[in-house]
């Protein structure tokens, strides 16, 4: 099974979600199923079917989270001291065409959130930045245009 890189924050977020599902939501759902079952005829009992459907979804998510946690390779960016862009790096770039500065952090797949400036390590943008040093240029082929970014600053926090 392939290990997937993840920051400590991302790993903790998955563990917290798993704990909430197992200790809070699962018991609440079991109660909801029991209450709905007590209402009688299960064939026309919408609450029962909704609770059973929720249970199925939760059990699937619990298995998914357990698998992701088991295959996580937790990498603390603060322990990395590179002059080059790598996993966990916070990278400030300049769009050469528009003179617009942007800052991105390269994170694991489950942590990616482009609106928050977090790029998946597997994204085309992150792949084009990996290995670059300050002053280097990264070419990203986006659907609308090919974007040229200059790496301004690299940090590991």
Residue that is written with structure tokens 């942590």 in the block: 111
74-90 pLDDT tens trace: 998 888 777 899 999 99
Whole-number pLDDT of residue 7: 92
State the total domains in the chain: 2
Whole-number pLDDT of residue 157: 79
19-77 pLDDT tens trace: 999 999 999 999 999 988 888 777 778 888 999 999 999 999 999 999 999 999 999 88
* Residue where one domain finishes, among candidates 51, 74, 97: 74
126-154 pLDDT tens trace: 999 999 999 999 999 888 889 999 999 99
Same domain, 108 and 38: no
62-78 pLDDT tens trace: 999 999 999 999 998 88
Same domain, 66 and 113: no
For residue 18, name the pLDDT band (cuts at 50, 70, 90): very high
* Residue where one domain finishes, among candidates 13, 45, 74: 74
Domain of residue 46 covers 4-74
Same domain, 64 and 81: no
CATH number at residue 111: 3.10.50.30
Same domain, 129 and 149: yes
Same domain, 151 and 82: yes
Same domain, 98 and 44: no
CB burial readout 78-111, b (16+ within 10 A) else e? eeeeeeebbbbbbbbbbeeeeeeeeebbbbbebb
Same domain, 85 and 140: yes
Same domain, 85 and 30: no
Same domain, 82 and 140: yes
């Amino acid at each position: 099974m392939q290990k997937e890189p993840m920051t400590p924050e991302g790993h903790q977020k998955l563990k917290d979600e798993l704990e909430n599902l197992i200790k809070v939501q699962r018991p609440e759902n079991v109660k909801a199923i029991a209450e709905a079952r007590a209402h009688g005829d299960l064939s026309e009992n919408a609450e029962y079917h909704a609770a059973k459907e929720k249970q199925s979804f939760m059990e699937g998510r619990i298995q998914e989270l357990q698998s992701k946690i088991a295959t996580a390779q937790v990498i603390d960016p603060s322990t990395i001291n590179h002059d080059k862009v790598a996993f966990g790096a916070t990278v400030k770039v300049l769009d050469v065409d528009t003179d617009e500065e942007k800052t991105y952090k390269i994170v694991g797949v489950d942590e990616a959130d482009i609106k928050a400036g977090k790029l998946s390590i597997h994204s085309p943008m992150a792949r084009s930045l990996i290995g670059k040093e300050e002053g280097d240029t990264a070419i990203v082929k986006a659907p609308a245009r090919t974007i040229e970014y200059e790496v301004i600053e690299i940090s590991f926090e």
